[in-house]
Amino acid sequence: MAAEALYNYKIKCPFCETTFETTRMRPSAVRVKEQQSDFGNIFEGECPYLYAITVCPNCSFAARNSDFEKIRVSAEAKIMSASKQLRVSTKPKPDIFKLGPSTPEVAVKRFELAIAFYKMRYVMEMGVLANMYLHLVWLWRMAGNKEKELLAIAQAAQVYEEYLAKAYTLPESLGEPGVIYLIGELYRLQGKLKEARRLFESGLGSKELRDYPKIAEMIRDKIAEIKADMEKNPQTA
């Protein structure tokens, strides 16, 4: 099953023009077992998060699979200069370039590299960046590393707040209420119940709320959960 889910894909790095293979997961093999409160999924069988990033083994350029070949090289002077510097360094090839089944720890390294390159881009979409930070949360959770997961949650919350404050367009699937819900939930997961409650309540005040009935329900459930937790542990209130 796992062997069929994964395949190696031949691709050319747009910056150093090296042709190499990268392991990808077939979308048809993705089986969601459970959706978590921060939109992360638990999967049956292979996890697509482990195969979402392509990394060039020659110059280390890394991007989401969907962006890797689409990037306009002529517009990306900063990335070109990083690619040139990195391709002359003679460090041994780390496991981020390995083909075949991967692990959450390796996927974290790939995402971190993709984030670093994404920040060099001529035009950066905050939503894409925030979503990559959110993947770090899910990956550390998958790895069972609670400490790193909490650090990633704090970082993702910060990037999503910046996104909400500056973004012109929010993802249609979430809308303003969904993004506010997510930030609130990232606070709740850190045990910051007061901040979480403040955000959830502001989500209920969103003008777009009526277009997102499912999110509205999720927000109300979380407010009820927080109220119950605060009654049980009055020191958190």
Output phi, psi for 220, to 5 deg. Answer: -60, -40
**Cα–Cα distance measured from residue 207 to residue 211, given in angstroms and rounded to the nearest whole number:** 9
Which one of the spans 19-27, 54-62, 129-137, 163-171 is the region binding Zn ion (CB under 5 A)?
54-62
Of the pair 57, 171, the CB lying nearest Zn ion is at 57
Which one of the spans 56-64, 74-82, 127-135, 226-234 is the region binding Zn ion (CB under 5 A)?
56-64
Residue 66 CB burial class (10 angstroms; 0-12, 13-18, ≥19)? exposed
Of the pair 58, 206, the CB lying nearest Zn ion is at 58
Nearest to 86 by CA among 113, 62, 59: 59
Segment 108 to 147, residues that bind Zn ion, using CB under 5 A: none
CA distances 6 to 52, 93, 170, 180, 201, Å, are 12, 22, 32, 35, 43
For position 13 contacting Zn ion by CB under 5 A, the verdict is yes
For position 55 contacting Zn ion by CB under 5 A, the verdict is no
Q: What is the size of the binding site for Zn ion (CB under 5 A)?
A: 7
Among 5, 59, 113, 115, binds Zn ion (CB under 5 A): 59
For position 53 contacting Zn ion by CB under 5 A, the verdict is no
CB-CB contact of 134 with 40 (8 Å) = yes
**Minimum CB distance to Zn ion, residue 105 (Å):** 23
List contacts with Zn ion (CB under 5 A): 13, 15-16, 56, 58-59, 61
